[in-house]
């Protein structure tokens, strides 16, 4: 389906959705929202582009491989942040008590490990949305040949 209006609007809107997603991720420790909500918004913008154009256009934004790398990387980043606290002498996922700089409450760069973790979760969720979408679409194309309904 090619619809000029949908394409134009989604192309116009996508950067703003992405910016909003990033804003929500970065302000996760200051206001309602956070890694999951922001990541979902960011991922939705990429899915929107792929939906209104086609898969190739979506893949040009972020390829399937990159998305999977980011997905694993985000989760590993979370785990590593927790392990970093161990290395610093605190408990797993410890924040202030492990020596992460807490900053002043209310400022953007505050709250130590929470900001880091929110960013990692944001990356993870956004890329998961995209990989989920790609997998569903590509699965159709890839498996369609070998798994026709048996008559």
Partner 1 sequence: MMVEHFPVLIIVLPLAGAFLMPLLARRQVKLCWPALLLILVLVLGMAVTLLWRLDSSGPYFYHLGGWPPPWGIELQVDFLRVYLLLVVLGLGLWIAVYAWRDLEHELKPELIGWYCALYALLIGSMAGIALTNDLFNLFVFMEICAIASCAVITIKETRECLEAGFKYLILSAMGTGCYLLAVALIYMVTGHLNFALVREALPEAAALYPNNVLAAAALIIVAFAVKAALFPLHVWLPDAHAAAPSPSSAVLSGVVIKIYAFALLILFYRVLPGSLLSAVPLNEVILWLSVLGIVFGSIFAMVQEDLKKMLAYSSIAQIGYVFLGIGLANRTALVGALYHLLNHGIMKALLFMAAGNIIHAAGLRRIKSLSGIGPKMPLTMLPFAVAGASMIGIPGTGGLIGKWFLALGALETGRLLIVIIIIAGSLLNAIYYLPIIINAYLNPLSEGVSFKPVPRLMTASLLAGAAAVIFFGVFSKPVVLLLERAVTGFF
Partner 2 sequence: MEFLKSLSNNYYYLVAIILFVIGMHTMLTHANLIKKVIAMNIMDASVFLLFVAVGYVRGGAAPVIEASANRVYVNPLPGALMLTGIVVGISVTAYALSLVTKIFRYYGTVDADEIVEIRSQEQ
Binding residues for partner 2 (CB under 8 A): 30-32, 36, 105-106, 132, 135-136, 139-140, 143-144, 147-150
User: Distances in Å between the alpha carbon of 29 and those of 82, 95, 119, 146?
Assistant: 17, 13, 10, 48
Of 96 and 139, which has the nearer Cβ to partner 2? 139
Q: How far is the CB of 4 from partner 1 (least distance, A)?
A: 38
Asked whether 6 and 92 are in contact (CB, 8 A), the reply is: no
By CB under 8 A, the residues from 55 to 94 that bind partner 1 are: 65, 68-69, 71-73, 75-76, 79-80, 82-83, 85-86, 90-94
9 binds partner 1 (CB under 8 A): no
End-to-end CA distance of the chain: 30
- The option from partner 2, partner 1, none interacting with 86 (CB < 5 to 8 A, set by class) reads partner 1
Contact in structure between 48 and 62 (CB atoms under 8 Å): no
Single out the residue of 17, 129, 117, 13 nearest to residue 74, CA to CA: 117
DSSP 108: S
Contact of residue 85 among partner 2, partner 1, none (CB under 5-8 Å per partner type): partner 1
Q: Would you say 40 or 75 has its CB closer to partner 1?
A: 75
Where helices occur in the chain by DSSP H, the ranges are 4-26, 35-52, 55-61, 64-87, 113-143
Contact residues: partner 1, CB under 8 A:
65, 68-69, 71-73, 75-76, 79-80, 82-83, 85-86, 90-95, 97-98, 147
């Amino acid at each position: 389906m090619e619809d000029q209006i949908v394409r134009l609007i989604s192309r116009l809107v996508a950067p703003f959705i992405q910016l909003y997603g990033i804003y929500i991720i970065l302000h996760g420790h200051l206001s309602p929202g956070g890694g999951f909500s922001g990541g979902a918004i960011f991922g939705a913008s990429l899915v929107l582009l792929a939906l209104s154009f086609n898969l190739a256009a979506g893949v040009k934004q972020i390829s399937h491989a990159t998305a999977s790398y980011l997905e694993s990387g985000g989760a590993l980043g979370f785990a590593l942040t927790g392990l970093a606290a161990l290395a610093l002498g605190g408990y797993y996922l410890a924040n202030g008590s492990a020596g992460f700089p807490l900053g002043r409450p209310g400022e953007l760069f505050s709250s130590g490990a929470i900001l880091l973790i929110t960013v990692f979760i944001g990356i993870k969720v956004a890329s998961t949305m995209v990989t989920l979408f790609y997998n569903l679409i590509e699965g159709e194309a890839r498996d369609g040949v070998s798994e026709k309904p048996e008559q």
